[in-house]
Amino acid sequence: MELYDKYEQTMKNSPHVVILDAGASVSAISCDDENPINTPLLNGFLKKIWLSDSISDIGLKTANNTLEDIYTQLAARNEYAEIRNELDETIRKYFASFTIPDKVTTYDLLILSLRKKDLLATFDWDPLLLQAHQRVSKITDDIPDLAFLHGNVVAECCPNHKYGGLIESACSECNKPFTKHILFYPGKQKEDYADPFTFDHYKVLKNYLQKAYLISIFACDVTKSDVEGLEFIDVRPDAAWKKYVHPYHYRAYSGFFNSCLAKHPRRTTEAFFDRTENCIYSDPATPFSETMDFTELKTLVGKLVLEEKRHRESYLTVA
Ligand SMILES: [Zn+2]
């Protein structure tokens, strides 16, 4: 293989990392009448559950009633330990009750737009991404792993071994039932990352970021990064990420369907390399659309997976 071919193969087979900010579930899962999902953003969270009464009972004075603000105050004093635990239990129960709608959601498309070489990380606690991951794994198992950077309400882990899974399952090493991991709240102290579950998931993200060729971020702040290409699905004029990223190393899009993930599903690194290194500016041949159902999705992804298998030893070209 020529040197350039080796370079092209390496870059195209490098990971695409997608990071979802807290609240991404709200954008990804639209409510419908049959299966309404009330996915509150953190700031509206307390008004939607009984806890606001508990907070006023203890006379907590909060500046803006955000979960971050309230949790920071609760964490600061030991006398609030009980209500802090109550908050934690309420959150776990509330979010664990979410069920993904039967129709295709942006989460299904997002997972299928990536491959095993890629990573999908989220700050949300709810189980919707996990539920989408389980059902699209029946279409193909060549999908990315998930990283839950603030924990997940339906996941548990073994405190002694590096295994985790759904509630009520057991560690494959010691066979003991998994135990609860600490949910990470905005405003919590950094030492909470000593929790093995979230710490491991952060380590996974860090490893992927070190070798990533492309990063997409759904509406969130970002710290400085050395990666080759960045894509932001957030075009607010005051978006916080703008001050951290070199102006020639990113593109910003409004909405999933305008991103490279929907335009070039499972071919994002290939399309990026072909556009920037090979000067191939082709129209997307196999885009995802908003109206796709699971049958159409299965047919399209099935074709893409077959093509991937044929090129397993080399690389794909998006033409
Ligand atoms: Zn174990």
Whether 208 and 270 map to the same domain: the answer is yes
**Quick one: 107 and 189 in the same domain?**
yes
Cα 171 to Cα 89, 163, 242, distances in angstroms: 23, 6, 43
Average pLDDT over residues 177-205: 76
Number of domains in the chain: 2
**How far is the centre of ligand 1, averaged over its atoms, from the C-alpha of 162 (Å)?**
7
Instruction: Name the DSSP class of 81.
Output: H
CA separation for the pair 119, 146 (Å, rounded): 6
Q: Are residues 74 and 181 in the same domain?
A: no
Q: Are residues 249 and 162 in the same domain?
A: yes
Q: Looking at the domain assignment, is residue 262 inside a domain?
A: yes
Note whether 147 and 60 are same-domain residues. no
**Can you give the pLDDT at residue 34?**
47
CA distance 163 to 294: 31
CA of 156 to the centre of ligand 1 (A): 11
290 located within any domain: yes
Distance 158 CA to ligand 1 centre (A): 5
* Integer Cα distance of 266 and 109 in angstroms: 10
Distance 147 CA to ligand 1 centre (A): 20
The pTM of the full predicted model, rounded to 2 decimals, is 0.83
Specify whether 261 is located in the same domain as 151.
Answer: yes
Helix (H), strand (E) at residue 16 = strand 16-20
Q: How far is the CA of 178 from the centre of ligand 1 (A)?
A: 8
Claim to verify: residue 54 and residue 25 sit in the same structural domain: no
Whether residues 133 and 160 share a domain: the answer is yes
Distance 276 CA to ligand 1 centre (A): 46
Q: Using CA atoms, how far apart are residues 62 and 49, in angstroms rounded to an integer?
A: 17
> Does a structural domain hold residue 315?
no
| Distance from the alpha carbon of residue 222 to the mean position of ligand 1, in angstroms | 34
Residue 221 maps to a domain: yes
Least confident residue range of 9-18, 134-143, 239-248, 253-262: 239-248
Last residue within a domain, chosen from 74, 96, 118? 96
Residues 233 and 259 in one domain: yes
Confidence of residue 227 (pLDDT cuts 50, 70, 90): very low
Can you tell me the distance from the alpha carbon of 262 to that of 284, in angstroms, rounded to the nearest whole number? 9
CA of 174 to the centre of ligand 1 (A): 4
Residues in Cβ contact with 10 at an 8 Å cutoff, skipping those fewer than 6 apart? none
CA of 166 from ligand 1 middle (Å) equals 14
| Minimum mean pLDDT range among 32-36, 45-49, 93-97, 157-161 | 32-36
Cα of 160 from ligand 1 centre, angstroms: 5
Query: Which percentage of the chain shows pLDDT scores above 70?
Result: 71
Q: Is residue 235 part of a domain?
A: yes
**Cα–Cα distance for residue pair 19/120, rounded to 1 Å:** 6
CA–CA separation, 131 vs 112, rounded Å?
Answer: 13
Residue 175 Cα to ligand 1 middle (Å): 6
Q: What is the DSSP string of 238-269?
A: T-GGGGTS-TTSEEE-SSGGGSHHHHSTT-HH
Runs of H (alpha helix) within the chain? 3-12, 24-28, 42-48, 51-57, 67-76, 81-96, 106-112, 128-136, 196-211, 260-263, 268-276, 294-310
Alpha carbon of 195 to ligand 1 centroid (Å): 15
For residue 295, is pLDDT > 90? yes
Residue 37 included in any domain? no
Same domain assignment for residues 120 and 78? no
Residues 60 and 88 occupy one common structural domain? yes
Least confident of 94-108, 113-127, 145-159, 186-200: 186-200
Residue 172 shares a structural domain with residue 63: no
* Those residues with Cβ within 8 angstroms of residue 113's Cβ, 6 or more apart along the chain or in another chain: 261, 262, 265, 266, 268, 288
For the packed helices 81-96 and 67-76, what is the interaxial angle rounded to 10 degrees?
150
Mean pLDDT of 247-269: 81
Instruction: Identify whether 167 is part of a domain.
Output: yes
Ligand 1 centroid from CA 145, angstroms: 21
319 occurs within a structural domain? no
Q: How far is the CA of 171 from the centre of ligand 1 (A)?
A: 5
Measured in Å, residue 159 CA sits from the centre of ligand 1 at: 7
Using the 3D structure, point to which of 79, 96, 113 is the last residue of a domain: 96
Structure tokens at 133: 């991951």
Residue 157 CA to ligand 1 center (angstroms) comes to 8
pLDDT for the residue 223: 33
Q: Give the range of the structural domain holding residue 26, as residue numbers without chain letter.
A: 3-31+101-310
Which letter, b or e, does each residue of 54-67 get, where b requires 16 or more Cβ atoms within 10 Å of its Cβ?
Answer: bbeeeebebeeebb
